[in-house]
Each structure stands twice: as C-alpha cells, then as structure tokens.
Amino acid sequence: EAEVAQSPRYKITEKSQAVAFWCDPISGHATLYWYRQILGQGPELLVQFQDESVVDDSQLPKDRFSAERLKGVDSTLKIQPAELGDSAMYLCASSVRSDTQYFGPGTRLTVL
Amino acid sequence: EDQVTQSPEALRLQEGESSSLNCSYTVSGLRGLFWYRQDPGKGPEFLFTLYSAGEEKEKERLKATLTKKESFLHITAPKPEDSATYLCAAANNNDMRFGAGTRLTVKP
C-alpha cells in the first residue's frame, strides 16, 4: 500500500539553528500539504501545494519558514532560525486534487 | 468563522462498553467531513469521508454518521486496541479545519 514518506522522524535542535524536513507524497498525488500539530491540538495547515505551485500559505510564518516543491513531487519545509515555540509535530499529507488527505508519520521537532 | 469542535476531550470506556464521539462544525459550503485515528507519536490514519447529511459509513466496530451540523463516530463493543485520539475535520472549497480530537482509552 502506497504511503507518504517523511524524514527525519525526530529532530532535536538548538534555537537559532536551521532545520529542514522532507516529504515524499503518494505517487500520483498532485496536492501536498504541510501541517503543524501542537500536542493536544488538531493539525493546522501551514502550506498547500498543487503540483509545484503554492495554493495556500496564509498561515506560514514567512519570516522564518519556507517550503518548496520544485518538481511537483517531493517537498521540503525549512525553519530558519528555529525558536522554542516551533517544537511540535510536523505532518505532511497528500491527496488527489483536494479530496481525502493521507498523512505521513510526521517529524517530531524539539527546539532546545 | 469556520470552526470544528469535538467532544468529549477525553473518554474512558471499559472493553465492550459502546459509546459515541461528537464533532460539531460550523463550516459554510461543506465539501466533506473526515474522520481520522491518531496513535501517539504517529500521523493521522484515514478512517472515513462523509459528503452529505444522512450518509453513514462503517468499518469494523466504527460507524460514522453526518447531519447538517454534526457528525458522530459510534464505537460498538470497543477493544483496548481502539484506544487512540480520533480527529474529525471539515472541508469546504477553501480549506480543511481540524478539531482538537477526542482521546479514547479502552480498558480491558
């Protein structure tokens, strides 16, 4: 069964450092999403791609976060510099157009 | 403002004790209502999509239903392995909004 792949699974970094997360969506899924999930809360959308284009990045803190999906397949989310409040689970999901979203295992980020 | 509210926040059941989880939504132009299961430290696992009021879907001990204002996830004769956080999400043409989840614990 096809799955969304994410790496790394865990990342510990110090504040002010740069971190990057990678996501490979299910093959054929044109729409890719990055979410942030704080413990005890539901996922919150950071950015949505349709192929290589950004569809929605209204909740992305653009002063420190960036995301790209250059060839319309895999994607990278970067934080620079990381802050203590960025500690969370970062989830990637993909879908065919904007239908049911399938999530990857997530990257647990801890900022010290 | 579009909002999704889940209740209760936490639910403890004995094995075999059936119950229901609630998801209330105020999302204009609902395109779909989604249920996910999330185990600790893992990504959400897709369970159901409901598209219109009156629709029902079942999978093993779980049944999801939808009205114009809320959705229910009914759990029949739960087992300890059903313990997880259950998330619902409501989507319109602009975005998808998640609730905070219900943390279900089923004791043997």
Q: For residue B28, what pLDDT band results from cuts at 50, 70 and 90?
A: confident
Q: At a CB cut-off of 8 Å and minimum separation 6, what does A53 contact? A: none
Cross-chain Cβ contact B44/A43 below 8 Å: yes
Pairing of strands A44-50, A31-37: antiparallel
- Which of B41, B49, B95 lies closest to A56 in CB terms? B95
B58-81: per-residue pLDDT in tens?
999 999 999 999 999 999 999 999
Among B7, B96, B97, B103, most A C-beta atoms within 10 A, so best to mutate, is: B96
Considering chain A, what is the average pLDDT of its residues? 95
As a whole number of angstroms, the distance between CA A12 and CA B56 comes to 43
Give residue-wise pLDDT tens across range A59-101: 999 999 999 998 889 999 999 999 999 999 999 999 987 679 9
Helix H, strand E, coil C: the string for chain A is CCCCEEECCEEEECCCCCEEEEEECCCCCCEEEEEEECCCCCCEEEEEEECCEEEECCCCCCCCEEEECCCCCCEEEEECCCCHHHCEEEEEEEECCCCCCEECCCEEEEEC
- Between CA B69 and CA B60 the distance in angstroms is 25
Among B106, B107, B30, B21, which residue's Cα sits nearest to residue B65?
Answer: B21
Contact criterion met (CB < 8 Å) for B87 and A42:
yes
What local confidence, expressed as pLDDT, does residue B41 receive? 92
The confidence band for B18, taking pLDDT boundaries of 50, 70 and 90, is very high
CA A57 to CA A68: how far, in whole Å?
11
The answer to whether the Cβ–Cβ distance between A40 and B100 falls below 8 Å is yes
